Amino acid sequence: MRIVILGAPGSGKGTQAAALSAALAVPAISTGDMLRASIAQGSELGERVKGILASGDLVDDETMAEVVGKRLLKEDARQGFVLDGYPRNHSQAQTLEDLLGKMEVDLDAVLLVMVPQEELVRRLMKRGRVDDEEEVVRKRLVLYREKTEPLINFYRESGRLVSVAGDQGVEQVTASILEAVGAVV
């Protein structure tokens, strides 16, 4: 099963990616987690992206293409994956299409986790990550709306979009997702 999870910052898509990964026995690939791990390790990549994450900006597409490309080609992703945090704009969506084409596979579903704006802000404010400060949160939400939200139509038009309500209990969201995904595959 190959799934992309789309959702605003604070939508809980990371939590759901982990739950789906366990339920479907495929790796959860979170670009945000990968970047934060690089920062924690102090690697060259980590040093390069540290300030970008702290400010709420997006890391450049070329860097992200390399990060995601390498990860998807690893053995454990061969049988499937849940991709969280990528793609975030049209160029990244195109890169993903190209990568999947090379792997001769396709996405089974693109999940959209929907949460009302005021609930997103409420959740992000109490999370306490370094990029969860008010100004930075605002920037991330604006970037999501401007760059990532247009992808919803792109995937809807290709018939792969599945939407679930994210403003319910964590386990209820997971159950809705599994039901919705079961319905499309």
**Helix, strand and coil percent figures for the chain, each rounded to 5:** 60, 15, 25
Q: Given the DSSP bridges, would you call strands 161-165 and 28-30 parallel, antiparallel or unpaired?
A: unpaired
For 58, which DSSP code?
P
Q: Which of residues 4-23 bind ligand ADP (CB under 6 A)?
A: 9
CB of residue 178 to ligand ADP, shortest distance in Å: 21
Given candidates 23, 32, 168, 180, which one binds ligand ADP under the rule CB under 6 A? 32
Nearest CA to 154 out of 72, 88, 84, 58 is that of 88
Given candidates 19, 20, 29, 64, which one binds ligand ADP under the rule CB under 6 A? 64
User: Segment near ligand ADP (CB under 6 A), from 86-94, 102-110, 151-159, 177-185?
Assistant: 86-94
Given candidates 85, 110, 111, 173, which one binds ligand ADP under the rule CB under 6 A? 85
What residue is closest to ligand ADP based on CB? 32
How many CB atoms are closer than 10 A to CB 171? 9
Return the structure tokens found at 77: 């992703």
Contacts with ligand ADP, residue ranges (CB under 6 A): 9, 31-32, 35, 52-53, 56-59, 64, 85-86, 88, 92, 131, 140
